[in-house]
Amino acid sequence: MKLSVNLVTWNGEKYLPALLESLKNQTFKDFEFIVVDNGSVDKTVEVVKNFDCRLIENKNNVGFAAGHNQAYHVGNSEYFLIINQDIYLETDCLGKLVGFLDNHPDVGVVGPRVMKWDFEHTPSPSPEGISGNIDSLGLKVFRNRRVVEIGEGEEWRAPLFLSTAVFGVSGAIAMFRRSAVDVLDEFLDESFGSYKEDVDLAYRLNSVGFPAHIIYDAVAYHDRTGGGTKHKDDLSSAKNKTAQSDRVRYYSYRNHLITLLKNEYWQNCTLDFIWILWYELKKFVYFLLFDRRVLKGLGEIWKMRRIIAQKRKQIKASRKFSWKEIRGRF
């Protein structure tokens, strides 16, 4: 089998008919479909069982990372795709992603151009035409280590080239070379629960020498619930945080710090210390004044300090890229 399509579901009944339709209509057919359900209480499992798939039913919600780790260990295909339940694919999306990996054996992960999808108004987005606003063109890391979805909220305008290298690919939909992931000590870090696993994984794949690319003419649609912001200034960022759920704010903050503790090269951290400190200080003060519950994550990090230190040691031992090479990918 060339490809495994791995889906983790949780109460996704409303989205699944559209997603399953888009998978059924793919021009690329050499894939198996693995579904891990995290204890859904709606009709998710009933809907999935009407589709040809390998179904794993968890009694409880074990989280995004643990669910995808289950699917990863079940499959044995050359490539595997992780996909959210709120995604819709154009018919040639899988084929173009597979084709790029076939022709670029040095690349570890690819993602499509992900466009915004307003599910409530358009339950099945038209695969015809390339208009609308961008959801993600990959992950970008700033000098202060803030990570954003490239192009989010901007109007799509076709570039002169078909693909580009990026630091990482959005966890909403990403296709991996299994041999690249097998080099790592683990696929997704289950201690994260949800949010920022894709950033942590991007750091780790880069450190072992496997870059990421976005393929612009492979297109998917995403009804994002986590919510980013088109503008990257502090005021816009603060407004965006207030619109996020308590859970998103908590785990995004906690997992961002864990990612840095696990993956940062001390040389790069030293060079960018002022930018990192100022960014983290602003966030800390904001949460201290307006949302102190988020800061409880600092206590969790302290309790996990030995585990984080052990994982950092493993990551450092497997690195193939120097701090200068990683710095060039920010």
**pLDDT at residue 287 above 80?**
yes
Tell me the pLDDT band of 132, cut-offs 50, 70 and 90: confident
Quick one: pLDDT at residue 129? 47
Tell me the three-class secondary structure of 164-227, residue by residue.
EEECECCCCEEEEEHHHHHCCCCCCCHHHCCCCHHHHHHHHHHHCCCCEEEEEEEEEEECCCCC
Tell me the helices (H) and strands (E) count for the chain, helix number first. Answer: 13, 12
> What mean pLDDT comes out for the span 206-231?
84
Q: Which domains does the chain have, with CATH numbers?
A: 1-330 (3.90.550.10)
The first and second tokens of residue 266, run together, are 């001390």
Its pTM stands at 0.92
Q: Quote the CA–CA distance of 314 and 309 in Å, as a whole number.
A: 9
Per the listing, tokens 């479909």 go with: 33
Q: What's the mean pLDDT in 211-222?
A: 96
Query: What pLDDT, in 10s, does the model give residues 263-277?
Result: 999 999 999 999 999
CA–CA separation, 133 and 290 (whole Å) = 31
pLDDT of residue 235: 53
User: What's the pLDDT score for residue 237?
Assistant: 57
Residue 3 is predicted with a pLDDT of: 98
Is there a contact between 97 and 26 (Cβ–Cβ < 8 Å)? no
Ordered DSSP codes for 126-155:
-SS---SBEEES-EEE-TT--EEETTTTSB
The H or E element that residue 271 is part of is helix 266-271
pLDDT given for residue 130 in this prediction: 47
Q: What is the mean pLDDT of residues 1-23?
A: 96
Local structure of 301: helix, strand or coil: helix
pLDDT value of residue 159: 86
Rounded Cα distance, 116 and 13, in Å: 20
Compute the mean pLDDT over every residue in the chain, rounded to the nearest whole number.
92
